Amino acid sequence: MQQARESQPMLRLLPIGGLAAVVVGLMMDVDRSGLVNGVVNHFTNSNDNAETCQGDVNRNVIISRDQLSTFLTISEREYKARVQDVLRMPYCYLSPLEVRAGVQAERAVYPLAFDPKTWLVVLYEGDEYAGYEFRFTKD
């Protein structure tokens, strides 16, 4: 009986430890090969074609807080033209990728005027807006 009472505190800690492991796992950035990238992704890394601008780079393009705020109110699956009306021309495009099986996705990049090291990457599938993410660049 004494041994059962002593093990109960350890059993109570098990869910807390599991929760901590899940939180750490969610905070890690894992690429498609399953390798941990860390938090920072680089657009200018010439060894990673998936994160290098493709085609023309429009160096004068930045988006304001107002543009970002308006963009964030647009629902996924809205027409691509609606997003482009708000954000205008992108800084550049990243190489396309396949997010869903058989569907090529286009990725447009927009640097933030108020934080040049943070970039908004907008995902399009055909004529639809399919999502976004923020990326952080190095000096």
Dihedrals φ, ψ of 97, to 5°?
A: -145, 170
* Through-space distance between the first and last CA atoms of the chain, rounded to whole angstroms: 62
The reported pTM is 0.63
| Residues 100 and 85 sit within 8 Å (Cβ to Cβ) | no
Residue type (1 letter), 33:
S
Residue 114, classified by CB atoms within 10 Å of its CB into exposed (0-12), middle (13-18) or buried (19+), is exposed
Q: What is the pLDDT of residues 26-39, one digit of tens each?
A: 344 444 333 333 32
pLDDT of residue 103: 87
pLDDT of residue 35: 33
Q: Which domains does the chain have, with CATH numbers?
A: 1-38 (no CATH), 40-136 (3.30.1450.10)
pLDDT of residue 60: 94
pLDDT of residue 5: 58
Residues of the chain with pLDDT under 50: 13-14, 16-17, 19-50
pLDDT of residue 4: 56
| Residues 10 and 3 sit within 8 Å (Cβ to Cβ) | no
How far is Cα of residue 139 from the mean position of the Cα atoms in its chain?
Answer: 19
pLDDT, the chain, mean: 76
Distance CA 45, CA 61 (A): 20
pLDDT of residue 121: 97
